Chains A and B, each alone.
Chain A
C-alpha cells in the first residue's frame, strides 16, 4: 500500500470542494441508533437497524444503497415523514422525534426536500408552485414575488414562470422542485433520488445546480441515490447502506480508494471499472511469459501517467497501457491503469521496485 493513505488525507484537506474548514465539525443532522420497523398484519419488516452518523454543516452527504436498503426511510426520518421506532434524529441541535406538532412544522421550514418524481402541483404554474411554501406561512405577497423571482433566476427558469409543469421537461421540473424547496431559505436540503428519473445529461446539470445550492446558499445537502456516479460527481462524504445498516462511511475519496465491503466495491466498480476487459485478457494469454502486467491505482496528481513515462525513460523496458480508467473526484484524478511491461526480467523488476516507491498502489496481476 506504500504511503497511499497519507496522500489521501493531504488531498482531502487541500481539495475540500466547499471550503468548510472553519465549520467542519458543526453537525446539522445526527442519527443516533435509529431503528425503524414496519409492522403489518402478516409480518414485521426491519427498515433501519441502528443507523448512526453525522452530517456536518456544508457537507454534500450521499447515502447510497440498492433499493430496499432503507435509505429512503432514513431520509424521511429527518423531517419525520417517517417516525423512527427508536433512536434519535437531531436536526439543528433538536431531537425531531420530541418536537411538538407546531415546533415540527417550524423545523420543516428549515428542511427543504426534492423528489425523484418532482411532486409539483399540476394545476399550478411554476410561479405558484414555488410560492406555495411561502403561502403556507402567510408571507406578504410582495415578499413572495421577490423571493420566487430570485429563485427562478437562480435555477434559470425566469421565462417559465407562467408555464404549467406538464409544459416542462424533467430537468426543468426538478429545477422548479429545487426552487420550491429553497423558498423558505432552509439550511438543509434533502434529495430523494433527485436525478434518478433524468437522463445523464440532465442529471449532470441538476448535480451542478445542487453544488451551487451548497456553495452559494451555504445549504447542507443530504441525498440518497443508487447511482455511484451521483456520489462521485457532487458528494464529499458518503454512507453505504445495505439491509437497513450503514456498512461503510467516510470521505468519498477514502471509500473510492479503499472500499471495505463487497457492496461498496461493486458501487465503486460501477463508476471506476477495474476489471480487465476480455480483449486485454486474450493479448495477455498470447504474450504469456514475455511480459509482466501491473495494475496501478492512483489518486491525485503526480502519479499515474507521468510515472509510466518515467518508467519507460529510466528503464530498458516498454510500457504499454492495456486498459485505463481515469475519473475525477472532487477535482482530484482517480483511476486505474493496467500496464504491460516488456523487456528483460531484471529491468522489469527494477521498474516494478521504482513504481512501488511512487504515490500509487501497484499490484502485479499476471
Chain B
C-alpha cells in the first residue's frame, strides 16, 4: 500500500509544526541558559558560582540522554504540561527539552568568542549587565548565533523522526511506518528527498542571514 499525497502533505505539516513550535521555545530556553552559562562563570559580569555549577551539570545530563529515551522518560512531565502524552503536540515537550540545552551550549560557545576587551570597554562606559548582554554580547555574535540556531533546527528535524514513538506523526514517522515497515521504497525515497530539501533550504537561509548580519 502506497501513501497518498494527502498523507505526505499532512506529514510535512506535522513536521513543520513540531519543528516550528519547539524551535521557538527551545531558542528562548537555550538563549537564556546560554547567556546565564556565560555571565555567571568566574570573572564574568554576573559571576555566580552557585548558578553556574548547578546549571552546567544539568545541561550535560540532558544532553547525554538519547532522544528516544528522553521522549518516553518524561511522559508524566509532558502530560503535566500539555495534558496529553500522545500526539503531535505531546512530542513538542520532549523536543524542547532535548533541543534547549543543545542551543544553550551553542549560544555559550558563541558568546565566549566575544573579546574580553569589548566587555571591559562596556564596563568602562558604565553599562549595566543587561546592557552589556543586549548591546554588546548579542549584537557582536548575532551572525554566529543565527548559524548555531540553524544547526539546532536541523538537529530538531532529525529528532522529529522519532516523534512517531508517541504518535507525533511527521515525515520521519511516515518513512518508518510506510517506507520501512511496509517495504515501500518509493515512500523512503520521497521522504528522504523532502527532508534533504528542508535541511538544505534551511541551511542556505541561515547562511544568507548570518552573512548579511556579518556583512561580508
Q: Across the two chains, which residue of chain B brings its CB closest to A134?
A: B125
- Could you tell me the distance between the alpha carbons of A136 and B126 in the complex, rounded to whole angstroms? 8
Q: Which of A120-128, A234-242, A251-259 is the contact stretch?
A: A120-128
Residues of B within 8 A of A115 (CB): 117, 120-121
Q: Mark A284-328, 1 if CB is under 8 A from B, else 0.
A: 000000000000000000000000000000000000000000000
- Could you tell me the distance between the alpha carbons of A110 and B33 in the complex, rounded to whole angstroms? 34
- Could you tell me the distance between the alpha carbons of A115 and B116 in the complex, rounded to whole angstroms? 12
Residues of B within 8 A of A113 (CB): 121, 124
A81 lies within 8 A of B142 (CB)? no
B215 lies within 8 A of A119 (CB)? no
Within 8 A of A (CB), among B108-143: 115, 117-118, 120-121, 123-128, 131, 135-136, 139-140, 142-143
B214 CB-CB contact with A under 8 Å: yes
A133 lies within 8 A of B214 (CB)? no
A136 lies within 8 A of B127 (CB)? yes
Within 8 A of B (CB), among A132-153: 132-133, 135-137
Q: Across the two chains, which residue of chain B brings its CB closest to A135?
A: B135
- Could you tell me the distance between the alpha carbons of A105 and B118 in the complex, rounded to whole angstroms? 17
Q: Which of A79, A117, A123, A124 contacts B124 (CB 8 A)?
A: A79
Q: Across the two chains, which residue of chain A brings its CB closest to B213?
A: A123
B140 lies within 8 A of A105 (CB)? no
B139 lies within 8 A of A121 (CB)? yes
Given contacts A108-B126, A123-B213, contact A132 B120 (CB under 8 A): no
A357 CB-CB contact with B under 8 Å: no
A119 lies within 8 A of B126 (CB)? no
- Could you tell me the distance between the alpha carbons of A132 and B123 in the complex, rounded to whole angstroms? 12
Q: Which of A106, A124, A190 contacts B126 (CB 8 A)?
A: A106
- Could you tell me the distance between the alpha carbons of A111 and B125 in the complex, rounded to whole angstroms? 8
Residues of A within 8 A of B215 (CB): 123, 164
Closest chain-B Cβ to A133's Cβ sits at a distance in Å of 5
Closest chain-A Cβ to B129's Cβ sits at a distance in Å of 10
- Could you tell me the distance between the alpha carbons of A133 and B132 in the complex, rounded to whole angstroms? 11
A175 CB-CB contact with B under 8 Å: no
Closest chain-B Cβ to A274's Cβ sits at a distance in Å of 38
A122 lies within 8 A of B124 (CB)? no
A136 lies within 8 A of B135 (CB)? yes
Given contacts A115-B117, A136-B131, A164-B215, contact A121 B124 (CB under 8 A): no
Task: Indicate the member of B115, B117, B120, B126 with the most A CB atoms within 10 Å.
Answer: B126
Within 8 A of B (CB), among A38-93: 79, 81
Interface residues on A, range: 20 to 34
Task: Indicate the member of A107, A113, A184 with the most B CB atoms within 10 Å.
Answer: A113
- Could you tell me the distance between the alpha carbons of A119 and B115 in the complex, rounded to whole angstroms? 8
A123 lies within 8 A of B139 (CB)? yes
Residues of B within 8 A of A190 (CB): 124
Q: Across the two chains, which residue of chain B brings its CB closest to A128?
A: B139
- Could you tell me the distance between the alpha carbons of A119 and B123 in the complex, rounded to whole angstroms? 12
Residues of B within 8 A of A121 (CB): 118, 136, 139-140
Within 8 A of B (CB), among A218-259: none
B126 lies within 8 A of A109 (CB)? yes
Closest chain-B Cβ to A219's Cβ sits at a distance in Å of 15
- Could you tell me the distance between the alpha carbons of A164 and B127 in the complex, rounded to whole angstroms? 22
B135 lies within 8 A of A119 (CB)? no
Q: Which of B120, B127, B131, B142 contacts A123 (CB 8 A)?
A: B142
Residues of B within 8 A of A105 (CB): 126, 128
B135 lies within 8 A of A132 (CB)? yes
Closest chain-A Cβ to B125's Cβ sits at a distance in Å of 5
- Could you tell me the distance between the alpha carbons of A104 and B115 in the complex, rounded to whole angstroms? 24
Closest chain-B Cβ to A120's Cβ sits at a distance in Å of 8
- Could you tell me the distance between the alpha carbons of A108 and B120 in the complex, rounded to whole angstroms? 12
Q: Which of B115, B124, B131, B143 contacts A111 (CB 8 A)?
A: B124
Residues of A within 8 A of B125 (CB): 108-109, 132-133, 136, 184
* A residues in contact (CB < 8 Å) with B: 79, 81, 104-109, 111, 113, 115, 117, 119, 121-124, 132-133, 135-137, 164, 184, 190
9 inter-chain pairs at a CB distance below 8 angstroms, sorted by A residue, are: A104-B126, A105-B126, A105-B128, A113-B121, A115-B120, A121-B140, A132-B125, A133-B126, A136-B128
Please give 4 more A-B residue pairs, beta carbons under 8 A apart, in addition to A136-B128, A190-B124: A81-B123, A113-B121, A119-B115, A121-B140
Q: Which 10 A-B pairs have the closest CB atoms?
A: A108-B126, A119-B121, A119-B117, A105-B126, A113-B124, A133-B125, A136-B127, A109-B126, A119-B118, A79-B124
